[in-house]
Amino acid sequence: MVHAERVSRRANGAPALRVLAVVGELSPAVTGGGPSRTVLALAQALRLAGNDVRVLTTDADGRGTIHVPAAREVNGVLVHTARRWFARPWVLGALHVAPGMAGNLVRAIRWADVVVVHGVWVFTAVAASACASLLRRPYVLMPHGSLEETSVAEKWAKKRWAMPLVRTMVRGARAVQFSSETERQRSRAWVPGDKGQVIPNPVAVDGPLAQPGHLGKHGRGGRNTARCWGVVGRLHPRKGLDLLLIALSRVEGEWTLTLVGPSEGNYRAMLEEQTRALGLTERVNFFGPVAPDDMPRVYADLDALLVPSRGESFGNTVIEALAQGTPVIAAETVPAAAAAVEFGAGVIVRGGADAWTEALRAEIRSPTVVDRERVRELTVRSFGSRAIGASYSGLLRSIVTDWQARNARR
């Protein structure tokens, strides 16, 4: 009961939770893709719900590093950043090993009422879950798709050694939070029963709609007459970009495609070779990674976001595009695409390259026209920080209440 008495209180008298989030990579890192932005958006959502939130992370950005202060504040959220060891070789660097985090981790977990652990196959997740268990604090796992069957199968030989640790982490978690029902179903081999909870990822929306212009001549801001399509995210075999390029090679009319995001290994070079072989060099632009703060202008520069992924746990880029009123054309394997259709700003493609060819030809003939402000309003209402913050805060509060009740009976 001593622990319960030290919980702070909000202005309305309800107890405010002390929430610690632990993650290997965090914005402004760009290599980690959507999860590195999701963590901050979720932290800010929980803060708007009246909770005290802190984040522990490393300076990792894929094979590189970000250069930020060891302690900084981001929109009211205190972020502590530890230096990652072993950036080389990459097999160790990818694990986000950061022994310097240990002291802050122990202090922060003692401070927290509940810990949110992001990812599973990395040092930060193993350390945070183990430390939370030792210090008797409840924790929630957010795997960000990494417990799905296809994800576990990737690099299986390297993950095999960690499987007993990950199963222990899952058993010890009070809940495993998935961003979609699809992710939960694909992770049933690891998270059976009712431990899995579904709450979609939030989108951080501040200020008015962004203005186009970041992509220069490749975007709407450059005012070329072609349809400006884009793909945002890591260049990775799972993203279906090879099928998209085949489909585009059959699409007549004026269009351009811009690929925004870092590459997984040498996959960009493979796509560039395919682009040359298909005769699309003049139409396809490899833009590279973009800083998180510039992403709204990227989406505003697109006539439509294309998401041909072979499988997503959620599809953060869909919601980010909708938040800027940008239409979305997405594969049926992207759960968030349903929201685009519901808001009147999306098309779901069911099938491979042939289906994509027909969908894009239809877009050339009759471009999707949307009320950007209305689409943004609907997106914020369903996926904005306040809506998701309230739902997630409720889940964490129930976990803490149950945890304290169990401890009181001992």
Q: Tell me what pLDDT residue 207 has.
A: 67
Which pair of structure tokens corresponds to residue 96? 């986000």
Distance CA 322, CA 343 (A): 9
Q: Tell me what pLDDT residue 236 has.
A: 92
Q: Tell me what pLDDT residue 94 has.
A: 62
Q: How is the chain split among helix, strand and coil, in percent rounded to 5?
A: 45, 20, 40
Distance CA 259, CA 234 (A): 9
Residue 231: φ, ψ to 5°: -125, 130
Sequence-distant (6+) residues with CB within 8 A of 79 are: 26, 54, 55, 56, 57, 68, 71, 72, 73
Q: Tell me what pLDDT residue 161 has.
A: 82
Give the pTM: 0.86
Helix count and strand count (H, E) for the chain = 17, 16
Specify the long-range contacts of residues 362-369, CB closer than 8 Å, at least 24 apart: 363/227, 363/304, 363/329, 364/227, 364/251, 364/252, 364/253, 364/254, 364/255, 367/227, 367/303, 368/303, 368/304, 368/327
Establish whether the linkage from the previous residue to 138 is cis, with ω within 30° of 0.
Answer: no
Residue 60: φ, ψ to 5°: -70, 140
Q: pLDDT 10s per residue in the chain (410 long)?
A: 233 333 344 444 555 899 999 998 888 776 666 777 889 899 999 999 999 999 999 888 877 788 888 899 988 899 998 888 765 544 555 666 777 788 889 999 999 999 999 999 888 899 999 999 999 999 999 999 999 998 888 877 778 888 999 999 999 999 999 999 999 999 999 998 889 999 999 887 766 788 887 777 666 655 556 789 999 999 999 999 999 999 999 999 999 999 999 988 899 999 999 999 999 999 999 999 988 888 999 999 999 999 999 999 999 999 999 999 999 999 999 999 999 999 999 999 999 999 999 999 999 999 999 999 999 999 999 999 888 999 999 999 999 999 988 887 76
**CB 54, CB 108: distance < 8 Å:** yes
Measured CA distances, 91 to 85, 88, 98, 99, 198 (Å): 12, 8, 14, 17, 31
Q: Where are the beta strands (DSSP E) in 23-121?
A: 52-58, 60-61, 64-65, 71-74, 77-82, 114-118
Q: Tell me what pLDDT residue 4 has.
A: 33
